[in-house]
Amino acid sequence: MENRIIEIDPNCINEFDRLKNNYKIESVFLKLNDNFNFLYVEKILSQTSHDDFLESIPVDQPRLIIYKKQSNNKIIFIRWIPEIVQDTIEYSYTNASTAIFELLIGINKYMEVKDLIELSNL
């Protein structure tokens, strides 16, 4: 399978910087468009409970999530790929995570997650 060029919306970096610099942002959800060639900010969560954060993750669709753990301000990059996702879509999100991860300075931990249970103890 060939590598696709993934264009990254500058807002992805801007919102990461806001999260990193304590603008009351707790998580940034990134999504690929329908052609799997453009990564953009889908939503931002502020001052939510951990349960609300977990409920905001789509159970059947992949996402790249930047999460700030409030107890210690550690920033976690999460590549959420549910088991039911097709291989071609997983591959696209893997390429996108590689592309964006190189631009995000200040990530403390990287997680590849296929089951929400893995996120229950963040």
Closest CA to 54 of 77, 80, 75: 80
Q: What is the pLDDT of residue 61?
A: 95
How far apart, in Å, are the Cα atoms of 18 and each of 2, 34, 92, 117? 34, 27, 26, 28
- Residue 1 predicted with pLDDT over 70: no
Q: Which two tokens stand for residue 38?
A: 């453009």
| Average pLDDT taken over every residue of the chain | 92
Give the predicted TM-score (pTM) of the model: 0.93
Dump pLDDT digits (tens) for 91-104: 999 999 999 999 99
Mean pLDDT over 109-121 rounds to 91
- Rounded to whole angstroms, the Cα distance separating 54 from 120 reads 8
Partners of residue 29 on adjacent β-strands: 43, 65
Q: What is the pLDDT of residue 67?
A: 96
Q: Which helix (H) or strand (E) holds 95?
A: helix 87-101
Q: How confident is the model at residue 79 (pLDDT cuts 50, 70, 90)?
A: very high
Q: Which two tokens stand for residue 21?
A: 């610099």
Dump pLDDT digits (tens) for 6-42: 999 999 999 999 999 977 899 999 999 999 999 999 9
- Residue 2 predicted with pLDDT over 60: no
Q: What is the pLDDT of residue 84?
A: 92
Q: Which two tokens stand for residue 99?
A: 């592309």
